Amino acid sequence: MQGKRIFVLKANKARTDHKFHLKGLPSTGGRMDIVCRCISRALLYYGNEIREDTVFYAVLLGPPNPPKTIRIDGSRVKSLGADEISIGKMIREALKRCRGNVGEEVLVGVSVTQMSFQDLVESFAKKGCHLIYLHESGEDIRKTTFFAKDIYVFVLGDHIGLNDFDERLLDGLGAVKISVSPKSLLGSHCIAIVHNELDRRFSARSSSL
């Protein structure tokens, strides 16, 4: 699992079953539109080419049965639409097929578990991954050193964000707080900036060899 980029989104209100409308993702889905946009920015290049080095986790905490954590593996998923409706349809189908079987792959490259946000980030810390909390008050990403062969887990919140407990948890796990902008940005924009920064660095290193 070398060289992976992992994104973890805490979706505080996102619905945990399939009973939401594709044309009402913000309302009936509990801001499922945010989840969809983040998935698109995390897993797709221009032209819908999938980033095979990236894995995306969305921890859904809305009704009726939280938590539900969706994992999408860019190295396995076969196709992924860039628009919110297409991604929302995939999420809805994954949740519909989920029958509480922990870790079961319900679609190719897509699995659903009942893992909590705390358990998820703790599991990454135990594996020795680099935990990074994306926050506007953190260190400038341009001053941060990254290594192409390492595994980085970028944690971010939705429009509500992470609470005090979450932040203390990350701090206790040794997470580094990093900023991609001096101003608050949409989560999907933060993901795009992280990818851009790492792409520029690693591509530049490769071309200089």
Quick one: which H or E segment has residue 196?
Answer: helix 187-207
**Whole-angstrom Cα distance, residue 203 to residue 152?**
17
Options 2.60.120.10, 3.30.70.270, 3.40.1280.10, 2.40.110.10; which CATH number does 1-209 get? 3.40.1280.10
The percent of residues above 70 in pLDDT, for the chain, comes to 94
Q: What is the pLDDT of residues 87-98, one digit of tens each?
A: 999 999 999 998
Q: Which helix (H) or strand (E) holds 87?
A: helix 84-97
Q: Where are the domains of the chain?
A: 1-209
pTM of the model: 0.94
pLDDT higher than 80, residue 86: yes
Q: Are 80 and 90 in contact (CB under 8 A)?
A: yes
Residues 121, 54: Cα–Cα separation, whole Å: 16
Backbone angles phi, psi at 203, to 5 degrees: -65, -40
> Tens of pLDDT along 103-121?
678 999 999 999 999 999 9
Q: How confident is the model at residue 183 (pLDDT cuts 50, 70, 90)?
A: confident
